Amino acid sequence: MYDFKGKTALVTGASRGIGRAIAVALARGGANVALNYAGNEAAAQEALRLVVEAGAPKAKLWRFDVADPAACAKAVEEIVAELGGVHVLVNNAGIAIDQLVMRLKDDDWNRTLQVNLTGNFNLIRAVTRPMMKAKGGAIVNLTSVVGEMGNAGQAAYAAAKAGQIGLTKAVARELASRNIRVNAVAPGYIETDMTAGLADAAKAKLQEMIPLARLGTAEDVANAVAFLASDQASYVTGEVVRVNGGMYM
């Protein structure tokens, strides 16, 4: 467990899966938690309940589209006013619209990049000023093993996730002098709603590609994010931490 007392964390895509596990992990460390979600009200309320139970002194839901720059700026202003700042930003919100490149629609390409990549940029830009005012902060972007190794049928998703790595490294250099650290976590295949629909044969084939011979859990990813967000990682910036069971090294 890491100490986040007196800090406020904004976690996007926090209503389910990896985002919810991250929000809970930060709450266990005593962080105030702002949970962003896109539209699933029931899942968001359940995530909020778990975060409060985990020990967050203050926790609140914020519904907005990370692809909307004005909505991101407004939400950050509200979080600063209501929860006392934004000291940790976790860019987890993402979508996957899978299709072979020759059949991929313009709208699906654009939406994938807007949510997965531009959404990160929107929130990084919005939190930079309050983090500078607080004389420090930590930003963690959730990329993917697919952003490093590619995957057939995921051209848009892979491009966005690879773009997150470049964004992470550029902003890490830009903000280091302000004591704001920027890192990324690259999960492999994780047991979430995205992988729940895979057939048993497909899961077995995946496990053959993973040296640790299992799919990861949301908590596996949350543990890495919590470390990078904590003071224990005070000398770590511009890094991509792989949480993939050895699938890609």
CATH 3.30.10.20: does it fit domain 8-243?
no
pLDDT at 198 over 90: no
CB atoms within 10 A of CB 217: 15
For the annotated catalytic residues, the residue numbers are: 157
Is residue 249 very low, low, confident or very high in pLDDT (cuts 50, 70, 90)? very high
**Mean pLDDT (the chain, rounded):** 96
Domain limits, the chain: 8-243
Alpha-carbon dihedral 46, 51, 54, 55, rounded to 10 degrees: -140
Do 36 and 66 form a contact (C-beta atoms < 8 A)? yes
pLDDT in tens, 155-191: 999 999 999 999 999 999 999 999 999 999 999 999 9
pLDDT in tens, 95-125: 999 999 999 999 999 999 999 999 999 999 9
